[in-house]
Amino acid sequence: MGSSENNNNKEEVHVLLVAFSAQGHINPLLRLGKSLRSRGLHVSLATTDTLYHRVFKYTTNGGDSSTVPTSITTNGIEVFFFNDGFQTDGERAADVDKYMEGIAKYGPINVSNIIKTHFLDSSKKLACIINNPFVPWVADVAAEFNIPCACFWIQPSALFAIYYSFYNNLNTFPTLTDPNISVKLPGLPLLETQDLPSFVLPTNPFGTFPKILSSVFKGLEKLKWVFINSFYELEKDVIDSMSQVFPIATVGPVVPPSLLGGDEDSDVGIEMWKPEDSCIEWLNQKPDSSVIYISFGSLTVLSSEQKDSIAEALKKSHHPFLWVIKEENKELPLPKEFLEETKDRGMVIPWCPQTKVLAHPAVACFLTHCGWNSMLEAITAGKPMIGYPKWTDQPTNAKLITDVFHTGVRLKQDSDGFVPCEEVEKAIEQVLERPSSEEFKKNAEELKRAGREAVTEGGSSDRNIQSFVDEILGNKPIDH
């Protein structure tokens, strides 16, 4: 790709982002897209029409759900919608494996059509397609059109290293006959079975996700770049070790700009659930570093016994708390006696503006399911964490909290995943009251500073993004 054409002002250099319609997948891509736009590229996103129904139909089409437009433009990024073969959210939620298979079946045809219709115009040059890991077929679509492809890995570098080793048979991992094998990888602490991502375990019940990950890691030669939503200073050892075997480039923390000292209104992320702002007023009345914030993301559903256990620990701790329990998950409400007893220092809401909550000075720590987006937000807000991981990357992320970042503790679960009240109490004490709390706070503040520096001009992630932009703009040659 010569640079003479790129310097012609008539040609627009485009990047197409592709993801399916999950908030935690789309928002990091949109925020990365905003950074690319600010450096002179044209950016579009292709995603399933679920996003239109959940977010845009009420503002763009008067609520008429029967007609999905080809595209809409939001914050300067054109969003193209394609059909995933399902009619309702109920069908999608009923069988995750079938849903992922449906996207893999309909996605390639529909994304190919978007490229043919919108990007084969002579005034546009589609210089790169960036997908996230759960739509690996995008790399094959890119190859059809001879367009370089990048993957935006939305988990930490540690997870990339683990999967790389697993799918390339570089280490021994637990098996049904030997379920308790420890795994030692360069740049990471020793990983016990409980620290590994659930998809590499022989007990994993999901068939499709390991297949998807296998196609990512056995098809890495199809990718010209792998970008990671992390930053070098956060995971230095594992990034250095991975660079010996496969090049990865950190471009994060890709989080809402308000967590990096920017303007809240400049965020391009979308919100699929309506947050309640009432909690911010409530937080304003609380002392600095006093509130325990509890949220387990949009998928985790706690048993009533587990909620009672956490509730009892909160009651005994005497700390103020803000607890998010999503109504859509059909969870049983907390006991009335508990709500009555704690009404002066506790607030329970169905959803909240998490970015604002984590950044609030009243919040002392975050009891989290250890989803990577939530953890990165806590890291950039400088908040210690209590980890309660369930599946996928969460157990490894919890291990990072305790043994790599040193910013909190992990709850000990029994064989059924249950955490007794005493264990929650102990964790709250360690993070908020014991001498260890000062170290967690200090380390969290240090990572907050390092995260901001990584994305400012000349920082480690900023340099990686600029290097990519220079390459596709033709400021340096692309080698095929």
Burial class (CB in 10 A: 0-12, 13-18, 19+), 149: buried
* Lookup: tokens for 371: 């989803």
Q: Which residues pair with 410 in a beta bridge?
A: 387
User: Which residues, other chains included, contact 381 with Cβ-Cβ below 8 Å and sequence gap of 6+?
Assistant: 259, 355, 358, 359, 363, 448
**CATH 2.60.40.420 assigned to 267-450:** no
pLDDT in tens, the chain (480 residues): 344 444 445 689 999 999 988 888 999 999 999 999 999 999 999 999 888 888 876 565 554 556 888 888 988 999 999 988 877 777 777 777 788 888 999 999 999 999 999 998 778 899 999 999 999 999 999 999 999 999 999 999 999 999 999 999 999 999 999 999 999 999 999 999 999 999 999 988 777 889 999 999 999 999 999 999 999 999 999 999 999 999 999 999 999 999 998 888 788 988 877 777 899 999 999 999 999 999 998 778 888 899 999 999 999 999 999 999 876 555 567 888 999 999 999 999 988 999 999 999 999 999 999 999 999 999 999 999 999 999 999 999 999 999 999 999 999 999 889 999 999 999 999 999 999 999 999 999 999 999 999 999 999 999 999 999 999 998 754 443
Contact by Cβ (8 Å): 473, 11: no
Instruction: Give the model's pLDDT for residue 478.
Output: 44
Domain coordinates of the chain in residue numbers? 3-257+453-472, 267-450
Q: Please, how many CA atoms are within 13 Å of residue 362, restricted to the half-sphere of its CB?
A: 18
| Phi and psi at residue 347, to the nearest 5° | -135, 130
Helix (H) or strand (E) holding 134: none
- Given this model, what pLDDT does residue 7 score? 46
Q: CA 318, CA 342: separation in Å to the nearest integer?
A: 9
Query: How many separate helices (H) and strands (E) can be counted in the chain?
Result: 19, 14
Distance CA 226, CA 49 (A): 26
- Distance of alpha carbon 90 from alpha carbon 87, whole angstroms: 8
**What are the distances in angstroms from CA 228 to CA 151, 158, 160, 235, 248?**
8, 10, 9, 11, 7
Topology match between the domains 3-257+453-472 and 267-450: yes
- Cα 254 to Cα 130: distance, rounded to the nearest angstrom: 15
* Residue 298: predicted pLDDT: 76
First-last CA distance in the chain: 9
* Residue 253, preceding peptide bond in cis (omega within 30° of 0): yes
Query: 3-state DSSP call for residue 438?
Result: helix
At residue 271, the pLDDT reads 80
Q: What is the predicted pLDDT for the residue at 327?
A: 67
Q: Which residue has the tokens 């939503």?
A: 229
3-257+453-472: which CATH topology?
Rossmann fold (3.40.50)
The one-letter amino acid at 240: D
Please give the Cα distance from 288 to 305 (Å, whole number). Answer: 31
SS3 144: helix
Q: Provide the strand spans (E) within 83-123.
A: none
Encoded amino acid at 282, one letter? W
Rg (CA), the chain: 22
